[in-house]
Structure 1
């Protein structure tokens, strides 16, 4: 029987953590709708501007592996306070930035705070709620993970059109301050502070590994693959990740205990989460560019076009959570990836420089019916198979790879967008449509991989003979 930690404000504490993570994950994509404005204001290209999203995700991916140690070094209240404070400082810095470099720095600081609270949220929820209640709780958490980055372009579109893109950060900063005050009242200490020794070489390896992969793929947007700025970071990244994995197997206290990947449903669940966030974040950066640049909609109109899909995401997440314990994970995950794959094939068929907007709306809605059916069940089924002592490691590994999936999705999407756009020799709007269409070939392929992997899912709470 798992140890369950009783808290005075269990639901209020869960709400504080989820809302903190929501605001942080909202920040992942909130600036996507403003990229064309930022590109114009700072006179930069799309491949440079995308670092405002990729850099955010990459910072989280680098920090999250350390979170398993932070959770064992500092109390829950200390980590929540630090997370919200750091994120608030980053938001203010970004709002006041006079140039692209300081804007990027503000984004990175903001991401540091999100990188703390995201794995902390998962670890805490797993110990304050019993197994029979996790379906609904994970459904709400799935709503946070998928809805926050998905709704970013929609909400920011209205903000940009009415008051300007810097208010994306001022609003975030205000929310962080209110959340900090609220959290100081309701958040209790539930983690065991054991202060294990941290292996700093592992941190270096993981940082170089993930950073090299994302940086190399990002450079491919403006350079040939044979260019040293592309293949060298990729090679260094791969070598660093191999060294990281080998080192974890010999350390007495590894940065992340790779024994978690001996649990098959955890491994498959993490892969499916990686793919889901890859699709969410790649779509979130492409659609605003397409709607504004190819179909000539304003930021507010483009945001409203994406609203029906986001609304369905809000509706579906708690529904899936409520039905999870009755139906189990496989039905939801297979059906979800079937819908996601169908939507992406649809985008390949219809996307162009004169596509009727209703087709974009319908396909986006189909995709966001499918996504909440994959994320929450995949994550819950994965974590349920782990023993209690591996929750922190599982949370860190899953969240790291999920954010890496988002960073790679953003980087690859813009790289393919740029390649497809440069191959078009007609009007600017045709080039943007062609670039978006080209990127969806790869996204559709990733969705197909997810569909195939989903067929191997089984309920991890039922022991296999």
Structure 2
């Protein structure tokens, strides 16, 4: 478990840490903002394509070999990124790098489901959530320090020792625990899955990377092709004797409800992760390092409480934890929807930490309770489904949050006679962020209503 968690930590850290370095990459490689965002979009897109296939890989490749392959991709991609001499090399490195966590994250969930009985999974899943929460919390802070001292490539060189430790521990202690059934590989299913999930993630990521881009072909065409491909993919899975991704997991009601809740909490959580740095840096005019330090307590608190909540879940189940979590999120988002350029950093830290506590109350109990209802043979499919939904929710959450923020920003500037004034620009961005959080309130309310139907598996 230690080797798995170090590998997953490094993968998520690399996903988020580079966001602070985009300006430096643009300067070094003389590229435009529309190009540099691909180092993030490409990473997310690769994971979005791989996670649905992870269930098939888990049934076909022994655990230790699959772990070694995933770490090999992560190590190779990270090494190439550290030596990158142009943008094309960096982008290729990021795609190779993303293969690792794309395989490793659902693999870790599968191993937990196999190794630990249902009455202990909450605690172990809480430990996994601690890793998943702390990595993006530390990402902006550590990358801010590295960028200011050794440059953005230092982000990759810090990751190399961690990946080596994970690999060495895995080679020593990892055991083959998966049930290798070697299901028939259906090429058409893989093709439809890749086009479907890739198209949706790409479409929403494109919408979130440019102002007013929802009506542009780069958004509409991938989304349309992606949705149609997923419809065909779903019909085909029900017809196959050995489906690539067994969608019959949705016959289990608690798994279905848990998946919806995980989707909703990831949707609002990714909204926080994109809106808060923009508000802190562009509206309050804080440095990247200071902004990272402001967000750090919330991320660390989320991780630590996830472990405690996992223990509580093992004793009392998900019902009250999830409902309280969404209620807290509603309150925190209402507070966020009233922030201004004059809001103190202490208030921001308190509200952000409160929202992260709400996320911790929901994520682990909802996911674990849903997976607990599945029979053992459907564990790989359940882990792949939830992993895929989190990737899609992230892409949708970021895209809609940015679009709502831009709309609110433009509405504010539209009634102002001095839109070029720096102070006015800061106030306009704060107004846009408030609009984004008002949308998150709606997502949290839908989650709370859904949570009324959850019961212990």
Normalization by structure 2: what TM-score? 0.91
Could you tell me which residue of structure 2 aligns to residue 436 of structure 1?
Answer: 433
Checking the alignment, whether the CA contact within 8 Å between 1:208 and 1:240 is kept in structure 2 is yes
Change in Cα spacing, 1:377 to 1:230, as seen in structure 2 (3 Å) is same
Q: Does 1:275 align with 2:264?
A: yes
**Equivalences, count:** 446
Q: How does 1:40-439 map to 2 (within 5 A)?
A: 40-42=27-29, 48-220=35-207, 221-350=210-339, 352-421=340-409, 424=413, 425-426=419-420, 427=422, 428-439=425-436
Checking the alignment, whether the CA contact within 8 Å between 1:137 and 1:321 is kept in structure 2 is yes
Aligned counterparts of 1:40 and 1:435: Cα–Cα separation in 2: 28
Could you tell me which residue of structure 2 aligns to residue 5 of structure 1?
Answer: none
Checking the alignment, whether the CA contact within 8 Å between 2:371 and 2:379 is kept in structure 1 is yes
Checking the alignment, whether the CA contact within 8 Å between 2:48 and 2:201 is kept in structure 1 is no
Q: Secondary structure at the match of 2:80?
A: helix
- Give the drift of 1:276: 2.2
Normalization by structure 1: what TM-score? 0.90
Change in Cα spacing, 1:180 to 1:38, as seen in structure 2 (3 Å) is same
- Give the drift of 1:231: 2.0
Q: Secondary structure at the match of 2:337?
A: helix
Q: Does 1:454 align with 2:451?
A: yes
Q: Residue 34 of structure 1: which of 7, 16, 21 is its match?
A: 21
Checking the alignment, whether the CA contact within 8 Å between 2:6 and 2:162 is kept in structure 1 is no
Deviates more, 1:448-457 or 1:390-399: 448-457
Aligned counterparts of 2:30 and 2:254: Cα–Cα separation in 1: 47
Moved over 6 A (4+): none
Aligned counterparts of 1:444 and 1:44: Cα–Cα separation in 2: 37
For residues 337-360 of structure 1, the C-alpha deviation after alignment (integer angstroms, 9 at most, x for no partner) is 11122212211111x334322221
User: Which runs of 5 or more structure 1 residues have no equivalent in the other structure?
Assistant: 1-13, 461-465
Change in Cα spacing, 1:224 to 1:292, as seen in structure 2 (3 Å) is closer
Aligned counterparts of 2:76 and 2:228: Cα–Cα separation in 1: 35
- Give the drift of 1:43: 5.5
Aligned counterparts of 2:164 and 2:60: Cα–Cα separation in 1: 25
Deviates more, 1:317-326 or 1:139-148: 139-148
Aligned counterparts of 1:301 and 1:235: Cα–Cα separation in 2: 41
- Give the drift of 1:298: 1.6
Q: Residue 445 of structure 1: which of 438, 442, 447 is its match?
A: 442
- Give the drift of 1:233: 2.0
User: Which runs of 5 or more structure 2 residues have no equivalent in the other structure?
Assistant: 414-418
Change in Cα spacing, 1:371 to 1:225, as seen in structure 2 (3 Å) is closer
- Give the drift of 1:122: 0.7
